[in-house]
Structure 1
Amino acid sequence: MAELFSDAWMKSYMTEWNNEPELSDALAKINFNSRIAYGFDKEDQPRAVITIENGKATAAGSYNGEELNWDLRASAENWQKWIDKGIGMASLGMAYVGGKLKFKTGDYGAMIKDPRMASPFVKSFTVMGRVKA
């Protein structure tokens, strides 16, 4: 069993990311390139990072000081809830406004206003749920 955001978990997440057309193909259409980190809200640094090039995940694993475009933080309990149940657009907005999902790096407002990015972002939570933990 791989622990959430461990190196092994992230490698599985990368595979699942690339296997989901509503995520990888949708982001490829807008030439999305980014380095996205994930972690827990009370920690100084993120736990893990995934590198996206033209919508496809090309690398994933433990965070090692990489420069980030996005750094997403939440409590372990909230991450697990979203991974187990997914998250919709309304729930995402409530999580952000209520401080349950924090963007230490990245512009939530710009992302959520662009459906070409917002829909894949929401889908990424569903894809996390496919990772065997």
Structure 2
Amino acid sequence: MAKRDIFDDMAAFAHPLPSSPTQAPPPEGFDETVKELLEQREDYAANLRAASDAEDIDPLLAEIHKVRHQREHYDRLLRQLVAYGREFVGPRPYPLAMLASAAGLGSHSSARTFYSEKDITDVAATTGAKPQRNA
């Protein structure tokens, strides 16, 4: 059995191939999409190898670290978007049930406590808008 190449495997996680033509937009571009993804995988693996050689990093741990930071970014963004919909949109805010459903929170009451005052402050700083309750 051939030894797995961890760099190629990390590239496969970062650039997964569609399993069928219906997953490649547009379906008639399936072959071209696969070709582009394979090229992206090669580049990704080469860059990961170079970084690993230069900095003596473990490629799996580096990928986990990177994805964790991406998840934290998107978790923060999701909280800010819910805060925006509830605190900044007027004349009436989005209903809690609608925001909870869109955010995958389960119940409308969870949307009420999903974001914090810091998220409201961050939305105001990002958009320049003022919360409707303070407008």
Is the TM value for this pair above 0.5?
no
> Relative CO higher for 1 or 2, CA cutoff 8 Å, sep ≥ 6?
1
TM-score by length of 1: 0.21
More strand by share: 1
More helix by share: 2
TM-score by length of 2: 0.21
Q: Please say which structure displays the higher CA radius of gyration.
A: 2
